[in-house]
Structure 1
Amino acid sequence: MKKTLILLLIWVVTLHSEAYGQKQFTFKDGKFKIVQFTDIHWMPNSANSSQTTTTIQSVLKSEMPDLAILTGDIVTGDPALDGWKSVISIFENAKTPFTVTMGNHDPEHLIKDDMYDLLLKSPYYIGDKGPKDIMGMGNNVISIYNSKNDIAALLYCFDSNDYTPENNYGHYDWIHFNQIEWYRKQSTQFTQNNGGSPIPSLAFFHIPLLEYNNVVGRETTFGKKLESGVSSPTINSGLFNAFIDMQDVMGVFAGHDHNNDYIGMEYDIALGYGRVTGTDAYGSLERGGRIIEIFEGKPQFDTWIVTPSGNEDTYHYPSGITSFDEKTMTYLPAKNVKPKAQGVAYTYYEGKFKMTNQVTSGKKVKEGNMRNFSIKEAPIKDHFGYDFRTQIKIPEKGVYRFYTISDDGSKLFIDGQEIVDNDGGHSSRRREGKVALDAGFHDLQVLYYEDYMGQELEVGFSSRDILETSLPDEILYIPEKIAPKDDN
C-alpha cells in the first residue's frame, strides 16, 4: 500500500511538472508550433457551444500544436465558472498545453483572480497570475529551448486590460507603462544572458495596437479586413516602440476584431490578427485558429489560418511572401547565359533630372564596371545619374522581394519588367516589389538620379529563405550577350 502511494505521488508530481507551469518547451526537428484561438465567446447555456468545441477540436487534431494561446474574450456568459471549466476541459482532453491572455469581456463575468485560480488547477495550463505590482493579470513570458538546452525563443503574453476609466481617453484600455517596463526588463535580461543578442520573440494579447491601422492596404499585408476600422486604444502606450528598441519581437498577434484576420509589416514587425473561434461571436468568417510556426535558430516564422474546412495560405515572415504568391505569380524564366566576371556595369550621366527616365538622355560622362551598386564614385554631389546593369544569379526558384532605398529617385527592373518604383525627387525613402523567378541568371537594371541635397542608394532583396540583405557581390555578374541555346 505504501509503495502504491509513493508511486502515485511520483506520478502526480511528474504530471504537474511536465504539463503545468514548470513544463519546458523545446523545438522539435527545428520547429515549434503555436495555435492562437481568439474570441471564443463561450456561452455556457448556448447550443452553439458544441460547435465551438468541434472547431477547436478539429484544429487541434489536424495541426497537433505544441502550445495553444487563447487571446481573450473566452467566456462571455453566465455561469462563467462553468464556462471556464468547459473550455479548460477541451484542452485537457486533447492533452494540449495552453495559456490565456485576458480580453475586455472576460472580467465582466468573473473576476480575474478567480479565473486564474481555476486555470492554475489544470495540469495543462502554462503560466501564472503574473507580477503583482503591474497592471493586469497573466502577464507572462514563456521560454522555448533549443537542442542544446538554451533559450532560443520567447513568447510574451500581456493583459491588454479592458475599458478606459474615463471616456475622454477613448473606449478601450491599453497596455500600461509598468507592463511595458516589465517587458523591457525581461527582454534586457534575456538578451544579456544570450551574449548580447536579442532572442527571437512573439507577443500575444487581445486588443490590437494603434499601429495595426498603419499596415492596412500595404502590398505586404495579407488576409481579410472586413471591419470598418481597428478597435484599438486611441492612446498610444509606446509598447510598439519598446518592441523596436529591444529588437526581439518579430510578430504581434491579437484578436478583438472578429472580421479581421490580416497580417502585415510595420518596421519589420508583423502585426497580425487571429481567426475568430467562437460560434457565438459576431462575424462572418469561418471559425478556426491561427497557426504560428517558429524555427530554431532563425528570426523567422510561418503562419496560416486553419479551419475545419482546411488550411488557408501561408505567410512567411520576414519576407512577407505568401504561398498564394508562390502559386499564382508567373515565374520569369532564367536567361541562357554564362557570365564569368562578377560585378555591375554602369554608365554615368550628368544633368538636372527630375525622373529616372530622363537619365539616359543626359550627358554621358563615363562607363565601366564596379563590384556592386554604388554612387560613391560620382565626381559631383548633385545633378547626376546612373544606369546600372547586372545579371543576378538566383539560387533557387521562388518569389523574391526587391527593394531600393534612395535619395533621390530610383527604379529597378528585372528581365525588363519594372519591379520597384522609387522614382521622383525625395529624401531617403524605401520602396519595394516582388517577382517570381526561376533559378539561374536574370537581367537586373537600376536607374538612379540625384537632384540636390543628399544622395543615397541601396539595393537589396529577400525571399522566404533569405533574410533581407543588400545584394551580395557574389551573385552579381557583368552582363554578356545571350549564349546560343544548347542543342540538347
Structure 2
Amino acid sequence: MRKSLHFKSNGTFKIVQFTDTEYCEPDEEELQMKAMMKRILEKEQPDMVIYTGDVIASNKSPNPIQAFKDAVSVPEEMQIPWAAVFGNHDSEAAEMTREQLHYLQLSHRYCYAQPDPPNVHGVGNYVLEILDGLHQPAAALFFLDSGSYSPLEHLRVGFYDWIRRSQIAWYTEASHRLTARNGGEPLPSLGFFHIPLPEYNDIWDFSVCYGQKLDAYCCAPLINTGFFAAMLEMGDIMGTFVGHDHGNDFWGTLHGIRLCYGRTSRNAYLDQPFQPGARVIQLTEGQRSFETWLHLEDGTIVHDQPAHIPEGRALKIESTID
C-alpha cells in the first residue's frame, strides 16, 4: 500500500528542510549535528523531513551505506516521514552510485520517496501529493535530481550540472495531470532539488532578497534549460528549496515564485560565525502560499531575515523618496 501524506486537522503541513549534512563517519561534529537535528524536530513537530542533497560525502566515507543510514537515522527513529534528493557529493565515491542510494533510501520504513519514472534523466525524480481531510490531493511536492558536475567541461561549459529537458518534460506532464484531476486548477506545490537555478543569481543581483549570501557567488550551472519558465507556465510551484552553497540562506521572489535556500545543517566552511540549522516550511490547506523560517542550532527562530537591496535598486528607492 502506497504511503500517503496528509494535512493535519488544523489545516497545516510542516516540513523541516535539512541540507548538506555530508555525513561520512561518526565523529564529534556528526554527533552534535545529529543532536541538533533531534532538537529541531522535537521542537517543530513537522509532518515531513526533506534532505536537499549532499546527504553524505561519499568520497570521504569508509562506509557510504552506513553514512547514509546515520544521516537519516533521526527522522527514522522519531517515525517522521522523510525523503531526499541527491547532490554532487552523494555519489562521488566510485563504489556508491545514485541508483544505489535511491534504492537504499526506498528501503527505509519512513522514507516516502518514490521509484524513478522511466526514461527520465537522473535518479530521484518523483512527486508526492498531500491529501486533505477528504483524502483528496490538496498540494504537491516535486523532487528533482539536479545532477552533479557538468558533462560538458571538455567544452568549458560550466562546472555544475543542470536539470535536463527530459526532467522538465516529466515535471510538466505530472503537473498537467495533477491540474486536470483538480478540475483545471493547479495544485499549490513546492519544488526541492540541490543545485540552485541560474535565476538564484538574478534575484540576488536585481531584486530585494531576505537573508544572507556569504558564499562569493551562487554555484548555479551556466546552462539554463528553462525549468523556471516551465514552473511559471504550469502555475503550480510557489517556491523552490535548494542547498549546495553552505553560506547562503536567502530567498527572493521572481515572477511570483519564491526561490529559497535552506540553512546548511553542517559547517558552512566560512571564516566567520554561521550557525548550522534548518529551514522550516509550512503550508496551509486551501491557500496558495506558504510560511518559512529558520531554526538554528542554538534554538533561535528567525522569522524575519535581513533585507538585501541591490545597489541599483537602492539608488532607485532613494530617488523616489527624494
Shared fold (TM-score, shorter chain, > 0.5):
yes
Q: Which TM-score applies when normalising by structure 2?
A: 0.89
Q: Tell me, what secondary structure is at the counterpart of 2:72?
A: helix
Distance 2:226 2:119 in 1: 19
Distance 1:46 1:220 in 2: 40
Matched, 1:303 2:292: yes
User: Aligned pair count?
Assistant: 305
Tell me which of 9, 13, 29 is aligned to 2:10: 29
Alpha-carbon shift at residue 40 of structure 1 (Å): 0.2
Q: Tell me, what secondary structure is at the counterpart of 1:207?
A: coil
Partner of residue 40, structure 1: 21
Partner of residue 260, structure 1: 248
Which one has the bigger helix percentage? Answer: 2
Alpha-carbon shift at residue 149 of structure 1 (Å): 2.1
Tell me which of 282, 286, 298 is aligned to 2:269: 282
Distance 1:219 1:113 in 2: 38
Tell me which of 132, 148, 157 is aligned to 2:118: 132
Partner of residue 443, structure 1: none
Partner of residue 143, structure 2: 157
Alpha-carbon shift at residue 213 of structure 1 (Å): 0.9
- Is contact 1:164–1:173 with CA below 8 Å preserved after alignment? yes
Identity %: 36
Q: Tell me, what secondary structure is at the counterpart of 1:186?
A: helix
Which amino acid is the alignment partner of residue 58 of structure 1?
R
- The structure having more radius of gyration, on CA atoms, is 1
1:255-404 to 2 correspondence within 5 Å? 255-279=243-267, 282-283=269-270, 284-314=273-303, 322=304
Partner of residue 80, structure 2: 96
Distance 1:42 1:295 in 2: 33
Q: Tell me, what secondary structure is at the counterpart of 1:230?
A: coil
Alpha-carbon shift at residue 48 of structure 1 (Å): 1.4
Which amino acid is the alignment partner of residue 233 of structure 1?
P
Give a deviation string over 1:95-114, Cα, whole Å, max 9, x none. Answer: 11100100011011321122
Once superposed, what is the RMSD of the aligned Cα atoms? 2.2
Q: Tell me, what secondary structure is at the counterpart of 1:84?
A: helix
- Is contact 1:276–1:285 with CA below 8 Å preserved after alignment? no
1:104-253 to 2 correspondence within 5 Å? 104-109=88-93, 110-167=96-153, 168-216=156-204, 220-253=208-241
1:81/1:145 CA distance change after superposition, 3 Å: same
Q: Which TM-score applies when normalising by structure 1?
A: 0.59
Q: Tell me, what secondary structure is at the counterpart of 1:122?
A: coil
- Is contact 1:33–1:66 with CA below 8 Å preserved after alignment? yes
Distance 1:180 1:218 in 2: 26
Alpha-carbon shift at residue 250 of structure 1 (Å): 0.4
Distance 1:193 1:117 in 2: 30
- Is contact 1:131–1:139 with CA below 8 Å preserved after alignment? yes
Distance 1:205 1:274 in 2: 11
Distance 1:311 1:143 in 2: 31
Distance 2:51 2:180 in 1: 30
Matched, 1:84 2:65: no
Distance 1:421 1:27 in 2: 45
- Is contact 1:41–1:75 with CA below 8 Å preserved after alignment? yes
- Is contact 1:38–1:289 with CA below 8 Å preserved after alignment? yes
Which amino acid is the alignment partner of residue 14 of structure 2?
K
Distance 1:112 1:285 in 2: 30
Give a deviation string over 1:207-230, Cα, whole Å, max 9, x none. Answer: 000000111156641011111111
Greater length-normalized contact order (CA 8 Å, ≥ 6 residues apart): 2
- Is contact 1:32–1:294 with CA below 8 Å preserved after alignment? yes
